[in-house]
Amino acid sequence: MNKVSAFPYPIPEYGTEPYWQACNEERLVMQRCDSCNKFRWHPAPLCTHCGADGFSWQALSGRGKIFTWTVVTHPVHPAAFEKVPYVVVEVELEEQAGLRMLSNLVDADDDDITFDAKVMVAYVQHSNEQKLPVFRLLAS
Ligand SMILES: [Zn+2]
């Protein structure tokens, strides 16, 4: 087994299957509470805002802004040796204040990355056939 194919990949489980299936269709979805109508991230059986258990999966625009980021230069996994340096970004999605997800920022020069920079979701194919959401900078 080579190091690239050994890169960790998500295993859809515990109710996250709809999220990962939507990624393969290049759609960003999250659980939205039927009671308080707020999105939550990560997927969870109960609303993290009000504790209700009813929810539906709803599509998001994929647009957001950079809340914070870091440039990873040290490979934290043997399979990451060929990936460094790469950017880990926390994106606040436009649908709801405080709705943030971690991802990678791709195709960006370090000097162009700023707080509140507008980003848009994109998808990359992992070797296990699962598409993964990443973000790209939007022209300001
Ligand atoms: Zn709720």
Domains in the chain: boundaries? 17-137
Q: Which pLDDT tens digit goes with each residue over 89-128?
A: 999 999 999 999 999 999 999 999 999 999 999 999 987 8
- 3 state SS of 78: helix
Q: pTM of the prediction?
A: 0.91
Q: Distance from the CA of 50 to the center of ligand 1, in angstroms?
A: 4
Q: Which pLDDT tens digit goes with each residue over 39-83?
A: 999 999 999 999 999 999 999 999 999 999 999 999 888 888 888
Q: Distance from the CA of 94 to the center of ligand 1, in angstroms?
A: 18
Q: Distance from the CA of 54 to the center of ligand 1, in angstroms?
A: 8
Please identify every residue whose CB atom is under 5 Å from ligand 1, which is an ion: 33, 35-36, 47, 49-50, 52
Q: Which residues contact 109 (CB under 8 A, 6 or more apart)?
A: none
Q: What is the CA radius of gyration of the chain?
A: 16
